[in-house]
Amino acid sequence: MALRTIRTLGDEILEKKCRDVTEMKPRLHELINDMLETMYDAQGVGLAAPQVGVLKKIVVIDVTEEGDDPLVLINPEILELSGEQTGQEGCLSVPGKAGIVTRADYVKVQAFDAAMYEFIVEGEGLLARAIQHEVDHLSGILYVTKVEGELITATQETEE
């Protein structure tokens, strides 16, 4: 495994749309492992492939304290959104900053895991926020375009 360089705001790759993963190849397993290592190293709760310069629909998320139960979503499709939450959000591609974003409070997603098995995951609260943030990355959308008011200096480690 290896740490990858996290692309930051201003890098045009962050605004491009990602392609579907059609087949799990060894180098994609390596990418997923590297993304997890890079996310944990940066103390983030989520990371999308374009943030490490790869335009593929892959995200990793871990909102748990222990950091041992990561979620890998390949080709995620949001099936359902409901409710509303307004709170602080950050992004590893916008280091040291945070902003207030309103998101759905519940999300249901269909995706493939690292073995390319299709599954469905539901999330609420922080998990729902992280999933929506990461899926946005795959469409080239950064949270800074959804911030209510100004970006502020981050006070907590919830970067995605």
Element at 130 (helix H, strand E) = helix 125-138
> What is the C-alpha R_g of the chain?
14
CB-based burial label for 134 (10 Å; 0-12, 13-18, 19+)? buried
Task: Draw the binding track, 93-112, toward Zn ion (x: CB under 5 A; -: no contact).
Answer: --------------------
Interface with Zn ion: number of residues (CB under 5 A): 2
Q: Is 84 a catalytic residue?
A: no
Residue type, 78: I
- Residue 160 beta carbon to Zn ion: minimum distance, rounded to whole angstroms: 4
Q: Of 8 and 25, which has the nearer Cβ to Zn ion? A: 8
Contacts of 17 by beta carbon, 8 Å cutoff, 6+ apart: 55, 138, 139, 140
Is 89 a residue that touches Zn ion (CB under 5 A)?
no
The residue annotated as part of the active site, out of 134, 150, 157, 160, is 134
Q: Per the structure block, which two tokens stand in for 109? A: 């997603």
Phi, psi of 149 (to 5 degrees): 85, -150
Q: Which of 18, 63, 91, 138 binds Zn ion (CB under 5 A)?
A: 91
Q: Of 91 and 138, which has the nearer Cβ to Zn ion? A: 91
Phi, psi of 157 (to 5 degrees): -90, 80
- Of 1-9, 20-28, 65-73, 88-96, which part binds Zn ion (CB under 5 A)? 88-96
Q: Of 60 and 74, which has the nearer Cβ to Zn ion? A: 60
Rule CB under 5 A: which residues touch Zn ion? 91, 160
Active site members: 134
